[in-house]
A and B are shown apart, each in its own frame.
Chain A
Amino acid sequence: MDLLRFITCGSVDDGKSTLIGRLLYDSKSILADQLEAVERASKHKNDGEIDLALLTDGLRSEREQGITIDVAYRYFQTPARKFIIVDAPGHIQYTRNMVTGASNCQLAIVLVDARNGVVEQTRRHSLIASMLGIPHIVVAVNKMDLVDYSEDVFSNICIQYAELAKKLNAKQVTFIPMSALNGDNVVDPSQNMSWYEGPTLLNYLETVELDHDVNLTDARFPVQYVIRPQTPDLHDYRGYAGKITSGIFRKGDSVTVLPSGETSTVEAIEFFEEVKDEAFAPMSVILHLADDIDISRGNLIVKSDSQPVVSQNIEALLCWMDTKELKVGSKYTLQHGTFRSRCVVRDIAYQLNVNTYEETEGVESLKLNDIARVVLKTAQPISFDPYSRNRVNGGAILIDETSNVTVGALMLM
């Protein structure tokens, strides 16, 4: 069975929590005691009706304020697929949380209120989804019940959005009219929109093609840990433990170890008491090389016929995630998979307005949730692929050297 991770972008006002609640409720993924807890809480709030939104808001302050602060993960399953819902907050002050949530997703549901059409928030959410390389976008036009289920309203929103999508690089955009509150086109087909012939949301989630989302072209293996038992019977055993982040490795492949550039061949691929002829992303295995070369955590093993960029000078889109400002000239620790190096911010090429997509040059510092194109220099060379080609080997984080907190997300270019 397949696994699909998707993010829901929107705020409570767009009916996001209601949509998730509806998806779980109508697909019978909510268990009786969880429903009872929600019923109890709904009564406390004194409005009688079951509030499906209460199913998703987990922290006390979120329930008190009626908003989503942090990313929450929900799980459900149908006979067709297993799903992980990444439920991210929609307001601009939580952009960093949405970026966190979006980084692992293959699909994003962008919620649009049918009464308002494409608004600033729609543009922001779509930009973030596109920037994080999410291949499939579903524009969920919600609250159709409040516009008399009008086909014209829906068509106009599709046209508006198509205009915006031109500036982004989403591979696939799908539009679905729905009413999460009443359940139209979420799990069950709507009785009120006979003009719509497409799939319901769940239908689409169950069938969207995912095969091409994994990069099987560029073989990359970041070394996490070296296994050396050093017992009498395994005296010379030396295995490199890691996860293949993209591509395929086969026994006999010529490989290059980066950043040193030393070469060898794959002698064996081991997976728990089993030796394989080939292994592919995202499998965690142990690689054995034919030659005894110096390899440690942080090195990247790649197939010699598809080399990544190796450089100390990098450019990237950066989402700044700290309350302390980023200033040109500041130093941070950069972590790229298992590799770490100090780095310095040399320049901010431009800041990107997430709502209007305008680029502003001459910016000297970045505040929490700002997005900008930056130029960095690392102390040691980093071996990466452009993010647009390889999400895992093209993404990196910045760590503050005094607080140790993750303060930035980098999409390398």
Chain B
Amino acid sequence: MLHSITQSLIHSINMKLDYLDQLESEAIHIMREVAGQFERPALLFSGGKDSITLVHLARKAFRPGKFPFPLVHIDTGHNFQEALDFRDWLAESLGEKLIVRYVEDTIREKKLKEPTGRNASRNALQTFTLLDTIEEFEFDACIGGARRDEEKARAKERVFSVRDEFGSWDPKRQRPELWDTYNGKIHKGENVRVFPISNWTELDVWNYIKRENIALPSIYFAHDRECLLRDGKLLATAGGVIQREEADELVTRRVRFRTVGDISCTAAVESTADTLESVIAEIQATRISERGETRIDDQVSEAAMEDRKKGGYF
């Protein structure tokens, strides 16, 4: 008897999950809640490392079955070709359904006015296409790769974030969310944005990618690239999306992308890190946040992200 108690104690010491395993299990659990609670879910896929991580987690949640949702990409028309190629390759190799909708089409159909001038971006217009796509397919839940460590408004958002018919987030009407019980009950026309990696940090994502050996688009690693140097930020010339201004200096630098979004609002960082190990070492040493270093659209005001979320943005 004593022996067996000692045995079970020794045993229980080993029964501890590493923090990455805990985060992984939490994310898998959230994805399965989506599958169990909703009729028409979707996984919003941007081609960035966070949504690539989501796809990997979906495999862990549902294989050997198929994903209970399609991958949906809202293409601003300003994406890096490397990211688009990767997206197509990933969906194809997994045998999962990919739906792509274009901001370009929304602009034409709705006669939207494209932002012009300095640092103009289609990032805001994305919201229109996203809401149309949700309506077209009657999606009731959209899984996204947002993390709470990214930004102050995101730090307050629930894992299951209920949006009204206009996609708006109302921070004052958030549902209490207790234990790992998620309430996905909604009225017709509403939808829920679901964030399985809410509790992951940028470093957690990279450590997980390394541990799981997850493939990423090449632009996440150091490469030589032609860029415009503007206000200390390196903007890609690829695709001719960003118009050169008089003060811009045309340079070729060894760079990598820390986030991969729309070309018009994602800056490159100078780097020689060409392996996962060296990328992680660089992030551990960095003194600037992911969004602060590379996002051009958050820097408009203190509440920029909060305002965009209220408008239906992810």
Q: Which residues of A contact B (CB under 8 A)?
A: 1-3, 31-34, 37, 41, 57-61, 63, 69-75, 77, 82, 84, 96-97, 99-100, 103-104, 211, 214, 216, 224-225, 227-229, 234, 237, 239, 241-243, 245, 248, 271-273, 280, 282-284, 297, 321, 333, 335-338, 391-392, 395-397, 399, 404-406, 409
Contact = CB atoms under 8 A, between A and B. Distances in A.
B65 interface: yes
A241 B180 CA distance: 15
A73 B181 contact: no
Question: A-B pairs with the 10 shortest C-beta distances?
Answer: A33-B292, A58-B152, A3-B19, A284-B28, A103-B178, A404-B185, A224-B32, A227-B65, A32-B287, A284-B25
A73 B199 contact: yes
Of A96, A216, A283, chain B has the most CB atoms within 10 Å of the CB of: A283
Given A34-B289, A70-B171, A96-B176, A284 B61 contact: yes
A391 B179 CA distance: 8
Given A58-B306, A338-B33, 17 more contacts: A3-B23, A32-B288, A59-B306, A70-B171, A77-B201, A82-B19, A103-B179, A229-B64, A282-B17, A284-B28, A391-B179, A392-B180, A397-B178, A406-B176, A406-B177, A406-B183, A409-B176
Contact of A31 (B17, B178, B286): B286
19 contacts: A3-B22, A31-B288, A31-B289, A33-B292, A33-B293, A41-B302, A57-B152, A58-B153, A59-B303, A77-B201, A100-B178, A229-B64, A239-B65, A282-B25, A391-B179, A405-B175, A406-B175, A406-B183, A409-B178
Nearest to B284: A77
Contacts of A104: 178-180
Given A33-B288, A37-B302, A75 B199 contact: yes
Contact of A60 (B35, B68, B292, B306): B306
A243 B28 contact: yes
A217 to B, nearest CB: 9
A280 B30 CA distance: 18
A73 B198 contact: yes
Contacts of A32: 287-288
Contacts of B199: 73, 75, 84
A70 B174 contact: yes
Nearest to B35: A225
A74 B62 contact: no
Contacts of A284: 24-25, 28-29, 32, 60-61
B1 to A, nearest CB: 16
Contacts of A31: 286-289, 292
Contacts of A409: 176, 178
B55 to A, nearest CB: 13
Contact of A404 (B186, B203, B286): B186
A340 to B, nearest CB: 9
B214 to A, nearest CB: 13
Contacts of A63: 302
Interface residues of B, number: 62
Contacts of A60: 302-303, 306
A211 B292 contact: no
Given A333-B185, A399-B183, A282 B22 contact: yes
Given A71-B156, A337-B181, A406-B177, A273 B19 contact: no
A100 B176 contact: yes
B181 A211 contact: no
B26 to A, nearest CB: 8
Of A3, A71, A234, chain B has the most CB atoms within 10 Å of the CB of: A3
Contacts of A338: 33, 36
Contacts of B155: 58, 72-74
Contacts of B174: 70
Contact of A243 (B35, B178, B180): B180
Of B26, B179, B199, B287, chain A has the most CB atoms within 10 Å of the CB of: B179
Nearest to B155: A72
Given A75-B149, A224-B33, A225-B35, A1 B180 contact: no
A66 B61 CA distance: 42
B225 interface: no
B244 interface: no
B19 A75 contact: no
Contacts of B187: 404
Interface in B242-300: 286-289, 292-293
A280 to B, nearest CB: 5
B134 to A, nearest CB: 18
B201 A75 contact: yes
A84 B175 CA distance: 20
Given A58-B152, A248-B15, A234 B64 contact: yes
Nearest to A97: B176
B122 interface: no
Given A75-B149, A243-B180, A406-B177, A59 B171 contact: yes
Given A2-B19, A335-B181, A337-B181, A243 B175 contact: no
Contact of B183 (A245, A271, A297, A397): A397
Contacts of A74: 149, 155
B63 interface: yes
Contacts of B35: 224-225
Contacts of B153: 58-59
B10 to A, nearest CB: 12
A210 B29 CA distance: 22
A226 to B, nearest CB: 9
A272 B59 contact: yes
B172 interface: yes
Contacts of B25: 243, 282-284
Nearest to A40: B302
Contacts of B15: 214, 216, 248, 280
A69 B172 contact: yes
Contacts of B109: none
Contact of A283 (B12, B17, B148, B179): B17
A280 B25 CA distance: 11
A346 to B, nearest CB: 22
B113 interface: no
A404 B288 contact: no
B66 interface: yes
A252 B121 CA distance: 58
B176 A241 contact: no
B136 interface: no
Given A59-B156, A404-B185, A225 B36 contact: yes
B2 interface: no
